[in-house]
A = this chain, B = another copy of it.
Amino acid sequence: MSALSIGKLANAADVKVPTIRFYEQIGLLPAPDRTQSDRRTYQQPAVRRLAFVKHARQLGFGIDAIRTLLDLADHPERACGDANTLAEEQLAAVEAKIAQLDALRIELRRMVSASCSGPAAECRVIDALGDHGQCAQDHRAPDRVVPV
């Protein structure tokens, strides 16, 4: 009755079709049954599972972390210490990134506020980029650079 094609599942969880196949490929979602013509057929629980994954991704959890979280969700009798740890790590990561972006924001604002209209020779932006000494703040990237 409630069998879903991959397209319906994608719609139900608001996730793109290729993404579902990708998740299956990397073992994040179980391989579903197939029809005679080799099409994937999902049952209702797949929607919840995919929504869980989507929500976790939106919160910035990495695939490995999600694997652990799913595993815990699948085994409700286990202690959830890992889930707390992961969430705390994620929170710390998010807060660190916010701090870094705040420094960037300040620096960029400083550049932009002196908006110039003349030639590039006098451009505040170009100038500031060429001379890091102008930076009031420390806006270095700690590990990886922001992919804004």
Count identical subunits in the complex: 2
> Of A21-29, A33-41, A97-105, which stretch is located at the interface?
A97-105
Using Cβ atoms and an 8 Å threshold, which residues of chain B touch A104? 58-60, 94
- The B-contacting residues of A in range 93-123, CB under 8 angstroms, are 93-95, 97-98, 101-102, 104-105, 107-109, 111-112, 115-123
- The B-contacting residues of A in range 57-95, CB under 8 angstroms, are 57-60, 62, 69, 72-73, 75-81, 83-84, 86-88, 90-91, 93-95
- Measured between alpha carbons, how far is A116 from B97 in the docked complex, in Å? 26
- Measured between alpha carbons, how far is A37 from B112 in the docked complex, in Å? 46
Q: What band does the interface of chain A fall in when counting residues whose beta carbon is under 8 Å from B?
A: 35 or more
Given contacts A51-B132, A72-B120, A115-B84, is CB(A58)–CB(B145) below 8 Å? yes
Whether, in the assembled complex, A17 has its beta carbon less than 8 Å from a beta carbon of chain B, the answer is no
Q: Which residue of B lies closest to A71 (CB)?
A: B120
Whether, in the assembled complex, A140 has its beta carbon less than 8 Å from a beta carbon of chain B, the answer is yes
A residues apposed to B, CB below 8 Å: 48, 51-52, 55-60, 62, 69, 72-73, 75-81, 83-84, 86-88, 90-91, 93-95, 97-98, 101-102, 104-105, 107-109, 111-112, 115-123, 125-126, 129-130, 132, 139-141, 144-148
